[in-house]
C-alpha cells in the first residue's frame, strides 16, 4: 500500500497543466466518438472495421501469408475508404464545428421567440385536429439558402392563423415546407431533400423523410404533422421524435428556440432503426 500511495503522490507531483489539458481533450474526443457511434449505421461500419483488423491480426498469427498480404495492402487505402464511408457523418461534424459560437454564454429566452413558439404550437395542434399535413422548419445557425430558393418568399409575422392558412389544402402554397427564421415566416412551399437512409421504416411517408433529410446535414428542426394520423413529430439531427401532445410540443419548440436539442428526449424518441410504432405512412 505504501508503494502504491507513493506512486500516486509522485504522479500528482509531476502532473503539469499541459497534461491535464491533454487528458481532457482526449476524454472529450472519446466522448464525442461514443455519441457518434450510437447511430446504427456507424456502429455497423465500426464492427466491420474491427472484424477486418482482427482478421489481419489472426492471419499474421497463423502465418496465412496470402490472406495477410491482401489484408495488409487493403489497409493502405483503409483511411480513404473510411472517409468515403463516413462522409455524411464527417460533413455533419465539420458543419457543427463551423457553426460553433459563444451563444451559450448568453443563452436565454427572448420574448419574440416565446410568442413564436406559442403560435407554432397552436397552429400545429389545429392542423393535427383537422388532419392537414404540415412541415414547419425552424432555422438554426446553419444557413438554408439552398432551401429558400425552392420556395416563395413571404417575410410575414408568425401567427397561428397564417400557418393554418398556408397549409390548408386548397391554397397554392400548401404543398411544401414553411421556413421560420428570426421569428418570421421567411418562405413557404419549400422543397426539402429526402433522406437516403435505407434503414428507415417503409411506413414513413415523404413528409417525414423530407424532415429527416433536411436535419441530417444542418441544425434546423422540423415540425411534422401527419395528414393521415394527425400525429405531431419533430425531426432534429436526423432523428424523428413522435407523438407530441400540445404541452409537450410547446415545451419542445421553446427549447428549440433556445438552441437546445430535443432529439434525445427518451420519453418520446422514435428509434428510426426499428420502424414505426403505431404510425402510418405520411
> What are residue 137's DSSP bridge partners?
179, 222
Cell of 261: 436539442
DSSP 151: S
Please state, in angstroms and rounded to a whole number, the distance separating the CA atoms of residues 266 and 241.
Answer: 9
* Model confidence pLDDT, tens digit, residues 79-110: 676 667 666 656 655 655 555 544 444 444 45
Give the per-residue pLDDT at 250: 94
Cα 282 versus chain centre, distance: 20
- Return per-residue pLDDT of the chain as tens, 282 residues: 556 666 556 655 666 677 778 788 888 877 766 665 555 455 666 677 788 788 888 888 888 888 888 887 777 776 676 667 666 656 655 655 555 544 444 444 455 789 999 999 999 999 999 999 999 999 988 778 778 888 999 999 999 999 999 999 888 898 899 999 889 999 999 999 998 877 777 778 899 999 999 998 888 999 999 999 999 999 998 889 989 999 999 999 999 998 888 876 544 444 433 333 333 344
Please state, in angstroms and rounded to a whole number, the distance separating the CA atoms of residues 238 and 231.
Answer: 18
Q: Domain-by-domain residue ranges, the chain?
A: 2-104, 109-270
Q: For all residues of the chain together, what is the average pLDDT?
A: 78
Protein fold of 109-270: YojJ-like (1 (3.40.1700)
Count CB atoms within 10 A of the CB of residue 80.
9
Please state, in angstroms and rounded to a whole number, the distance separating the CA atoms of residues 109 and 104.
Answer: 12
Amino acid at each position: 500500500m505504501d508503494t502504491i500511495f507513493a506512486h500516486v503522490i509522485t504522479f500528482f507531483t509531476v502532473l503539469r497543466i499541459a497534461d491535464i489539458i491533454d487528458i481532457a481533450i482526449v476524454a472529450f474526443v472519446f466522448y464525442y466518438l461514443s455519441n457518434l457511434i450510437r447511430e446504427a449505421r456507424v456502429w455497423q461500419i465500426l464492427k466491420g472495421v474491427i472484424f477486418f483488423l482482427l482478421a489481419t491480426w489472426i492471419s499474421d498469427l497463423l502465418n496465412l501469408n496470402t490472406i495477410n498480404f491482401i489484408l495488409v495492402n487493403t489497409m493502405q487505402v483503409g483511411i480513404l475508404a473510411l472517409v468515403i464511408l463516413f462522409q455524411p457523418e464527417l460533413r455533419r461534424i465539420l458543419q457543427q464545428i463551423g457553426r460553433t459560437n459563444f451563444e451559450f454564454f448568453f443563452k436565454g429566452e427572448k420574448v419574440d421567440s416565446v410568442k413564436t413558439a406559442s403560435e407554432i404550437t397552436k397552429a400545429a395542434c389545429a392542423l393535427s385536429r383537422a388532419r392537414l399535413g404540415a412541415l414547419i422548419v425552424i432555422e438554426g445557425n446553419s444557413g438554408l439558402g439552398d432551401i429558400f430558393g425552392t420556395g416563395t418568399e413571404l417575410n410575414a409575422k408568425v401567427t397561428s392563423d397564417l400557418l393554418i392558412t398556408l397549409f390548408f389544402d386548397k391554397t397554392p402554397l400548401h404543398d411544401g415546407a414553411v421556413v421560420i427564421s428570426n421569428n418570421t415566416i421567411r418562405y413557404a412551399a419549400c422543397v426539402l431533400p429526402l433522406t437516403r437512409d435505407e434503414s428507415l421504416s417503409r411506413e414513413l411517408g415523404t413528409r417525414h423523410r423530407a424532415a429527416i433529410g433536411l436535419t441530417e446535414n444542418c441544425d434546423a428542426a422540423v415540425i411534422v404533422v401527419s395528414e393521415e394520423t394527425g400525429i405531431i413529430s419533430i425531426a432534429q439531427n436526423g432523428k424523428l421524435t413522435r407523438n407530441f401532445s400540445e404541452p409537450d410540443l410547446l415545451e419542445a419548440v421553446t427549447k428549440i428556440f433556445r438552441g437546445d436539442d430535443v432529439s434525445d428526449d427518451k420519453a418520446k424518441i422514435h428509434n428510426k432503426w426499428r420502424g414505426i410504432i403505431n404510425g402510418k405512412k405520411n
